[in-house]
């Protein structure tokens, strides 16, 4: 998370809301005039950044060489992993939350110093680790690892929460803060504003997102194709192909390009038709819509007993489709020097921690090279180097 991440990924309205909420907290606090001046300094700094940046674009679309938006295809194995959901983590923005990153002095003075229970302190010590590249006796490798996975430490010393902590353990740590400290929600927001960090719990981008047992699991409301709607889908695709052949785009293609496109379309129709009997017999399911959005080419599942993945849990007890964000297959797609469509896949990552490392060590350099060679536009470069797996799936499946 860089210093730019906060302002590049937060809506202006969200920032104003957080500032307003924090100011209300300070206004209601009695007998501590110095704290109001501190928060005004914080608000002024953040507001200045927003004024310089102007309106913030959260996600930039990728445009193909013909000027039309491309939609990246979700990795085939994205839904082929077991995930259970006992207690969905519905975000409550009116209560305390457990930040992934906590500023060093706030953590030590406002949390650790107030907790008297040894067991609680030991638990916190297990899951929160100091991330300070300026710490003495730190090896170059350790310092580099901190800056790669916690780039915010270039500006602030922080305590980072273990990326692999379970939702149950997070709930336990939060209970300690409730029990032993007098920290308020306003103070937590103030701390986040100070270090320019936006936690998931406060981010309006996720206000309508259904999470599972953690923030790396999404719950989707899926409408599956019936036999009849599947036949309609195939017919609509045939009509689309016929209409395309009458378009200026198709007419202006070379004979070789027309042949390649025709073969590709025929293969799509063939693949769709081969699934028809399985969908009729309910051996295979293909999504017609997800959360009310057309997503027929993005989500599918097998019926129990069909293949090696048949024992996986696809739905929770409420019938929501369970989609783990990780494992995730990072990718970059582009057109090479010959105008051929290419996709570069990187190693599968199992956590946000691993993804951040791959982003800094592999994706950034790869995209920088493509940008320098004119194979990526600045818009495309900005998209791929800011792409977050959670946001990728949220943009696909949620409004």
pLDDT (tens digit, 9 = 90+) per residue, 228-278? 999 998 999 999 999 999 999 999 999 999 999 999 899 989 988 998 998
Q: How many domains does the structure of the chain reveal?
A: 2
Which residues, in sequence order, are bridge partners of residue 322?
Answer: 219
Q: What pairing do the DSSP bridges indicate for beta strands 158-161 and 128-131?
A: antiparallel
Distance CA 245, CA 255 (A): 13
Compare 306 and 250 and report the one with higher pLDDT: 250
Residues 224 and 299 in one domain: yes
Rg (CA), the chain: 24
Distance CA 268, CA 221 (A): 26
pLDDT tens track for 315-374: 888 889 998 999 999 999 999 999 888 999 999 999 888 898 899 899 999 999 999 999
Distance CA 297, CA 292 (A): 14
Residues 248 and 281 in one domain: yes
Residues 226 and 282 in one domain: yes
pLDDT tens track for 24-55: 544 455 444 444 333 333 333 333 323 222 22
CA 392 → CA 59, 72, 75, 165, 397, distances in Å?
9, 9, 11, 22, 9
Residues 347 and 289 in one domain: no
End of a domain among 279, 311, 343?
Answer: 311
The answer to whether position 383 is within a domain reads yes
Angle at 216 between CA 174 and CA 290, to 5 degrees: 130
The answer to whether position 114 is within a domain reads no
State if pTM tops 0.85: no
The answer to whether position 203 is within a domain reads no
Residues 293 and 344 in one domain: no
pLDDT at 141: 77
pLDDT at 399: 72
Confidence of residue 384 (pLDDT cuts 50, 70, 90): very high
pLDDT at 62: 37
The answer to whether position 385 is within a domain reads yes
End of a domain among 266, 282, 311?
Answer: 311
Residues 287 and 346 in one domain: no
Which residues, in sequence order, are bridge partners of residue 301?
Answer: 285
The answer to whether position 273 is within a domain reads yes
Residues 248 and 296 in one domain: yes
Residues 265 and 293 in one domain: yes
Residues 225 and 297 in one domain: yes
Question: Locate tokens 């293609």: which residue?
Answer: 253
pLDDT at 197: 85
Provide the terminal-to-terminal Cα distance of the chain, rounded to the nearest Å: 24
The answer to whether position 351 is within a domain reads yes
Task: Note down the domain range covering 225.
Answer: 220-311
pLDDT tens track for 3-13: 444 445 555 55
Question: Locate tokens 């602030």: which residue?
Answer: 156
pLDDT at 70: 40
Residues 336 and 385 in one domain: yes
Residues 234 and 304 in one domain: yes
End of a domain among 259, 280, 311?
Answer: 311
Residues 255 and 306 in one domain: yes
pLDDT at 45: 33
Three-class secondary structure assignment of 221-256? CEEECCHHHHHHHHHHHHHHHHHHCCCHHHHCCCHH
Q: Rounded mean pLDDT of 129-158?
A: 79
Question: Locate tokens 């270090």: which residue?
Answer: 195
Asked whether 327 and 77 are in contact (CB, 8 A), the reply is yes
Cβ within 8 Å of residue 180, ≥6 positions away? 114, 115, 116, 117, 120
Cβ within 8 Å of residue 210, ≥6 positions away? 88, 90, 218, 219, 220, 221, 320
Residue 101 buriedness (CB in 10 A; 0-12 / 13-18 / 19+): buried
The answer to whether position 274 is within a domain reads yes
pLDDT at 242: 93
Confidence of residue 199 (pLDDT cuts 50, 70, 90): confident
Distance CA 31, CA 95 (A): 24
The answer to whether position 347 is within a domain reads yes
User: Which sign, positive or negative, has the C-alpha torsion 136, 137, 139, 145?
Assistant: negative
């Amino acid at each position: 998370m860089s210093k730019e991440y906060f302002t590049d990924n937060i809506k202006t309205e969200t920032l104003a809301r957080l500032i307003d909420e924090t100011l209300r907290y300070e206004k209601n606090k009695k007998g501590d005039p110095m704290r109001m001046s501190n928060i005004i300094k914080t608000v002024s700094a953040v507001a200045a950044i927003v004024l310089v940046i102007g309106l913030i674009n959260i996600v930039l679309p990728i445009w193909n060489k013909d000027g039309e938006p491309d939609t990246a295809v979700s990795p085939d194995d994205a839904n082929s992993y077991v995930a259970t959901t006992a207690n969905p983590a519905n975000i409550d923005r009116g209560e305390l939350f457990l930040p992934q990153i906590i500023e060093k002095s706030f953590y030590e003075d406002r949390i650790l110093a107030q907790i008297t229970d040894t067991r609680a302190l030991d638990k916190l010590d297990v899951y929160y680790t100091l991330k300070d590249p300026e710490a003495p006796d730190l090896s170059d490798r350790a310092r580099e690892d901190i800056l790669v996975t916690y780039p915010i430490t270039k500006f602030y010393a922080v305590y980072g929460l273990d990326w692999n902590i379970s939702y149950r353990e997070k709930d336990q740590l939060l209970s300690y803060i409730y029990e032993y400290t007098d920290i308020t929600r306003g103070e937590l927001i103030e701390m986040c504003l100070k270090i320019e960090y936006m936690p998931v719990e406060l981010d309006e981008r996720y206000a309508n997102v259904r999470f599972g047992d953690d923030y790396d699991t999404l719950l989707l409301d899926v409408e599956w194709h019936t036999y009849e709607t599947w036949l309609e889908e195939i017919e609509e695709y045939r009509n689309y192909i016929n209409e395309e052949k009458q378009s200026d785009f198709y007419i202006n293609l070379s004979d070789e390009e027309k042949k390649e496109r025709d073969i590709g379309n025929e293969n799509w129709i063939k693949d769709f038709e081969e699934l028809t009997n399985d969908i009729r017999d309910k051996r295979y399911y293909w999504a017609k819509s997800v959360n009310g959005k057309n997503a027929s080419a993005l989500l599918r599942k097998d019926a129990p007993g069909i293949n090696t993945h048949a024992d996986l849990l696809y739905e929770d007890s409420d019938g929501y489709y369970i989609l783990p964000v990780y494992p995730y297959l990072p990718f970059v797609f582009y057109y090479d020097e010959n105008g051929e469509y290419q996709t570069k896949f990187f190693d599968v990552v199992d956590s946000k921690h691993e993804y951040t490392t791959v982003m800094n060590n592999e994706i950034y350099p790869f995209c920088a090279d493509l940008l320098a060679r004119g194979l990526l536009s600045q818009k495309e470069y900005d998209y791929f180097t800011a792409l977050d797996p959670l946001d990728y799936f949220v943009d696909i499946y949620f409004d």
